Amino acid sequence: MGLFSKDIKTVQDLFVHQLQDMYYAEKRIVGALPDMIDKTTSPQLRAALQSHLAETRNHVTRLEKAFKLYGTEPKSVDCPAIDGIIEEADDVAGEVADKAVLDAALVAAGQAVEHYEISRYGTLIAWAEQIGRNDIAQVLRDTLAEEKAADQKLTSIAESKVNRVAV
Ligand code: ZN
Ligand code: FE
Ligand code: FE
């Protein structure tokens, strides 16, 4: 369903659509992370991705909680944005032979995913507040904090190791 679909008339409709979009995106990320974990040769990056995989499974659960609080069934709508980010990461990672360079590519891909999520959760929280659902905003804030921490972790891995080995 496109963003300007006729079914979206109110901020409430937009909010639910964006929840459905993130429900799709988080499940897509749960599917993509094991592949990234397999590809990396950095123990530090592997550990970071593994712990974020566990967090991401919980992001799916939190979205189900958000749907429930809102009084609607969990549902996914296609998110071409996350599909594109993950497809691009697969393409780039598939072309890199050098292991250190591959790790740098994986960090970059991971950060693109986190930045997308940070942007979307920031908007969802603002809309939840706007429609008077601070209870739902609070659930989403817990996830946003973990996305930001994951992004920072990837930055510190890149700065400390992955990129330096790659040059
Ligand atoms: Zn997430
Ligand atoms: Fe999306
Ligand atoms: Fe994430």
Walking along the chain (167 residues) 10 residues at a time, the average pLDDT comes out as 70 96 98 96 96 98 98 97 95 88 95 98 98 98 98 95 59
CA 167 to ligand 1 centroid distance, Å: 30
pTM assigned to the model: 0.91
CA 4 to ligand 3 centroid distance, Å: 26
pLDDT value at position 162?
55
Which CATH number applies to 11-166? 1.20.1260.10
Instruction: Note the ligand closest to the C-alpha atom of 3.
Output: 2
166: amino acid identity, one letter: A
> DSSP letters of 61-96?
HHHHHHHHHHTS-------HHHHHHHHHHHHHHHH-
pLDDT value at position 8?
87
pLDDT value at position 163?
58
What is the C-alpha to C-alpha distance for residues 162 and 167, in angstroms, rounded to an integer? 9
Sign of CA dihedral 11, 17, 18, 19: positive
CA 56 to ligand 1 centroid distance, Å: 5
CA 65 to ligand 2 centroid distance, Å: 19
pLDDT value at position 3?
54
Cα diameter, the chain: 52
Domain ranges of the chain: 11-166
